[in-house]
A and B are shown apart, each in its own frame.
Chain A
């Protein structure tokens, strides 16, 4: 047993992070994934830091669970070998500029003449059509033009990218989901044709930001940055503990608010009319956040966590990777 996608065969001719991540997720779930790289140089991620003893560590994670072969599709022999390989596969994942495979003699008509049920995932920055189709992209472009960067950061600070190229990961997730959706149709109907999926990685980021478009359309509001407040509940903020660790607090219901008040030994706040409902608490967010910040600053992380756990409050530690790893080892 290898997982629910055992038997599914995926050909990954994509590069860098986003599109290959879609293939990696399918590999995680049991698909057999063959990654094709250019002979000699290989994928660009092989030269991404960090390295240990000259070996790229990110690469090892990003393309786990795959088989690796080399092939130059731009040579006649390479093209012939590709056509020989293709019938074995259910899914093809590519991220060349639009029209590149066509130019190499592999338009979708040719691909489907070789493998009629092939699901083709094409991942690009801005999609196969439209004025930006030729533009290259990477995570920061997807995050910026997808709308995520503008709403991230302190209210008086500059727009902020996440600390990790999450725009690539988001795109990869949508790629894997798109492939699985197309495979449902194939599973339901043995005569279903193949599918061509046009994944614009910028759109994938924007798709996550559900409320932005309808809020702007219906209220004319342009959502901006609010730091670690969340705008819809209070208290909600990030606090520093007395031993210089970080915690995050949120929770909108009266029950959770009461639990959080008990956690910091302030049950008197529960009955305070300024904090009687989530609406009222949002209006007085600054006062509430100050109270909780003050309490956290006076206690070490272990005590903060123990207190909130005992009261069933809604505070969580903000883990660094070493804390995360220690926790995981202990839990094991």
Chain B
């Protein structure tokens, strides 16, 4: 019911587990919520193919 889960700040933290439980294909809690924009590189570089320079520029302009 309560499980420990990875967290960037505190190593692991406790929270309620996934409800309901799926017997055949169990779902699991993967990680706690993260920092503002922590996955920007993955989304804009890897998914959308933006260059590092473009990402830097968008960051400077506070678009992302």
Contacts and interface: CB of A to CB of B under 8 A. Distances in A.
Interface of A: 121, 127, 174-175, 178, 181-182, 185, 193-200, 203-204, 206-207, 209-210, 213-214, 216-218
A214 B2 CA distance: 9
A213 B23 contact: no
A203 B19 contact: yes
A198 B13 contact: no
Given A185-B25, A206-B1, A197 B20 contact: yes
Interface residues of B, number: 17
B47 interface: no
B14 interface: yes
A199 B27 CA distance: 13
30 contacts: A121-B20, A174-B20, A181-B22, A185-B25, A194-B24, A195-B22, A195-B23, A195-B24, A197-B22, A197-B23, A198-B21, A198-B22, A199-B19, A200-B19, A203-B1, A203-B16, A204-B19, A204-B20, A206-B1, A209-B16, A210-B15, A210-B16, A213-B2, A213-B15, A213-B16, A214-B13, A214-B15, A217-B14, A218-B10, A218-B14
Interface of B is mostly: loop
Given A174-B20, A207-B19, 16 more contacts: A175-B20, A181-B22, A181-B27, A185-B25, A195-B24, A198-B23, A199-B21, A200-B20, A203-B20, A204-B19, A206-B19, A207-B16, A213-B15, A214-B32, A217-B14, A218-B10
